[in-house]
């Protein structure tokens, strides 16, 4: 029987066992109680309270402005909804880079104030000290390599990363370092599928891809993108499972019309 069908609570150990058995891991983002309830009911393995909240919830152009307090607000709502999934929370920009003490205190705030199960942060060798310190407090860490949206002003663009040998070699080296230091999983974002497959084969911890092809241990998408709530963002890797933008627009237009024409409320919808 598949692990994902039998486990009552997904832990970091369950994810590693899933990789060992060749069972794929399904991960989605969520930022609020109502959506997280649906995802958990559907038996998603991992819910990521991503700093993509900065884009899809707050309307910023990048993930840079979202604050630790805002991430804690989002994550606390998600955790209240979840019974089964592992909840991972992004450490936002400026809360862990270059200062491992600050990294630890940011991660501790997330764990204490939200009840989440793990944190995620972007980067390899540059943030190893921060990761080590967070791990030393018993907080599980998920790494994130490839396209790292918090470094958008360094990259200058959201194009596919690690297409040249130097960047690919550095990514493989970083993935090994993240495994050795004790991360329980790594997200690889928008890199060539061949490279992602190589990393997933070489490394024992689960590799979760977004725009990294199918030869990895699991997939993650931003919920608002896969549901078709966002319209303007359509990279090649994004499969839209719904067109909720149109559905919601249609429902709201019908409601407005019903109010204006006195169709709503009717006799049965009043006291």
Binding residues for ligand KIV, rule: CB under 6 A, are 29, 48, 50-52, 90, 187, 189, 210, 220, 222
- Least Å from the CB of residue 194 to ligand KIV: 20
C-alpha span between 95 and 204 (Å, rounded): 28
Q: 137 phi and psi, to 5 degrees?
A: -90, 5
Cβ-based nearer residue to ligand KIV, 14 or 48:
48
- Least Å from the CB of residue 235 to ligand KIV: 11
HSE-up of residue 75 (Cα within 13 Å, Cβ side):
32
If one counts every other C-beta atom within 10 angstroms of the C-beta of residue 192, the result is 17
- Least Å from the CB of residue 62 to ligand KIV: 11
Cβ-based nearer residue to ligand KIV, 45 or 189:
189
- Tell me if residue 189 is catalytic: yes
Q: Which candidate, 128, 75, 70, places its Cα nearest to that of 97? A: 128
Cβ-based nearer residue to ligand KIV, 52 or 100:
52
C-alpha span between 183 and 178 (Å, rounded): 6
Cβ-based nearer residue to ligand KIV, 116 or 210:
210
With b meaning 16 or more CB within 10 Å and e meaning fewer, what string describes 42-61? eebbbbbbbbbbbbbeeeee
The single residue of 167, 189, 202, 247 carrying the catalytic annotation is 189
If one counts every other C-beta atom within 10 angstroms of the C-beta of residue 93, the result is 23
> Which residue of the chain is nearest ligand KIV when measured via CB?
50
Cβ-based nearer residue to ligand KIV, 190 or 266:
190
- Least Å from the CB of residue 80 to ligand KIV: 20
- Least Å from the CB of residue 170 to ligand KIV: 20
Chain centroid offset of residue 54 CA? 13
- Least Å from the CB of residue 63 to ligand KIV: 6
Cβ-based nearer residue to ligand KIV, 64 or 135:
64
If one counts every other C-beta atom within 10 angstroms of the C-beta of residue 231, the result is 12
Which residues participate in catalysis according to the annotation? Answer: 189
């Amino acid at each position: 029987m598949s692990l994902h069908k039998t486990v009552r609570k997904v832990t970091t150990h369950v994810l590693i066992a899933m990789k060992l058995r060749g069972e794929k891991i399904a991960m989605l983002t969520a930022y609020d109680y109502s959506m997280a309830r649906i995802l958990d009911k559907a038996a998603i393995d991992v819910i990521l309270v991503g700093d993509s909240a900065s884009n899809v919830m707050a309307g910023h152009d990048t993930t840079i402005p979202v604050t630790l307090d805002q991430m804690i607000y989002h994550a606390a709502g998600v955790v209240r909804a979840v019974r089964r999934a592992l909840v991972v929370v992004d450490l936002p920009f400026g809360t862990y880079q270059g200062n491992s003490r600050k990294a630890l205190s940011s991660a501790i705030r997330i764990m204490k104030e939200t009840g989440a199960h793990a944190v995620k942060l972007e980067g390899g060798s540059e943030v190893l000290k921060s990761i080590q310190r967070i791990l030393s407090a018993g907080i599980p860490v998920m790494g994130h390599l490839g396209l790292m949206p918090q470094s958008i002003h360094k990259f200058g663009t959201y194009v596919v990363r690690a297409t040249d040998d130097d960047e690919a070699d550095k990514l493989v080296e970083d993935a090994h370092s993240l495994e050795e230091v004790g991360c329980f999983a790594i997200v690889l974002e928008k890199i060539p599928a061949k490279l992602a497959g190589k990393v997933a084969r070489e490394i024992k911890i689960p590799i979760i891809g977004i725009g990294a092809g199918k030869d990895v241990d699991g997939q993650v998408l931003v919920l608002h993108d896969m549901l078709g709530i966002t319209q303007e963002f359509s990279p090649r890797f994004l499969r839209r499972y719904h067109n909720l933008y149109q559905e919601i627009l249609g429902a709201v237009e019908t409601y407005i019309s019903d109010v204006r024409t006195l169709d709503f409320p009717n006799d049965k919808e009043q006291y």
